[in-house]
C-alpha cells in the first residue's frame, strides 16, 4: 500500500516532499522511535497523536497515526523518513522535530538503550547537530 510513497521518498530527483508525504514520514519516524524498545506503549501513541495534531493543526490525529504505523511497518529502513525530513524541512523546524522525537522517547518515563541508540543516529541523519539535539532533550526534560 505504501510502496509508492516509500519509492518517492528515495527518488534522488525530487527536491521537495509533498506535505502529505512529509506528514507520513515524520509520523512514521516517530512510530519507529517509539517501537525501538519493543514496548509501544499507549502513552507513546498518545504523544505521537498530540505531536501530529499540534504540528499539522488537526483536531484528531488517530487516522494519521494509523497510516504512519502502517508505513513504518512496511519501510525497510529509517533513511527514507530522515531523508524526507532533511530535504523538506528548514533547520530550525528540524530542531523542533528532534524535540518531538525526545518527547516520544521520554513519554513513558524510561530511556531504553535502543531508544538512546536511535536518538544518537537520527538527529545527524536529518542534519541536526549534536549540541542542538542535546539542547532539545534538555528542553523536553525540563517541561517534563
Q: What is the number of alpha carbons within 13 Å of residue 16 lying toward its C-beta?
A: 4
Predicted structure pTM score: 0.85
Domains of the chain, by residue range, sit at 18-143
At 4, is the pLDDT very low, low, confident or very high (cuts 50, 70, 90)? low
Task: Point out the least confidently predicted range of 11-15, 79-83, 97-101, 113-117.
Answer: 11-15
Contact 31, 74 (CB under 8 A): no
Indicate the pLDDT class of residue 129, thresholds 50, 70 and 90: very high
CA gap 47, 34 in Å, rounded? 10
Nearest to 135 by CA among 110, 82, 99, 104: 99
Class of domain 18-143: mainly alpha
HSE-up of 87 (CA within 13 Å, CB side)?
A: 21
CB atoms within 10 A of CB 133: 22
Residue range 131-143: average pLDDT? 95
| CB hemisphere CA count around 24 (13 angstroms) | 24
Q: Is the pLDDT of residue 51 over 80?
A: yes
Amino acid at each position: 500500500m505504501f510502496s509508492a510513497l516509500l519509492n518517492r521518498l528515495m527518488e534522488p530527483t525530487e527536491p521537495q516532499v509533498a506535505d502529505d508525504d512529509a506528514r507520513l514520514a515524520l509520523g512514521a519516524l516517530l512510530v519507529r522511535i517509539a517501537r525501538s524498545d519493543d514496548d509501544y506503549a499507549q502513552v507513546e501513541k498518545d504523544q505521537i497523536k498530540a505531536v501530529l495534531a499540534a504540528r499539522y493543526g488537526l483536531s484528531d490525529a488517530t487516522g494519521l497515526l494509523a497510516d504512519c504505523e502502517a508505513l513504518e511497518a512496511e519501510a525497510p529502513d529509517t533513511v527514507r523518513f530522515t531523508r524526507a525530513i532533511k530535504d523538506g524541512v528548514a533547520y530550525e523546524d528540524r530542531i523542533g522535530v528532534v524535540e518531538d522525537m525526545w518527547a516520544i522517547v521520554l513519554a513513558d518515563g524510561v530511556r531504553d538503550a535502543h531508544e538512546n541508540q536511535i536518538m544518537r543516529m537520527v538527529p545527524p541523519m536529518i542534519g541536526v547537530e549534536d549540541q542542538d539535539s542535546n539542547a532539545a532533550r534538555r528542553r523536553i526534560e525540563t517541561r517534563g
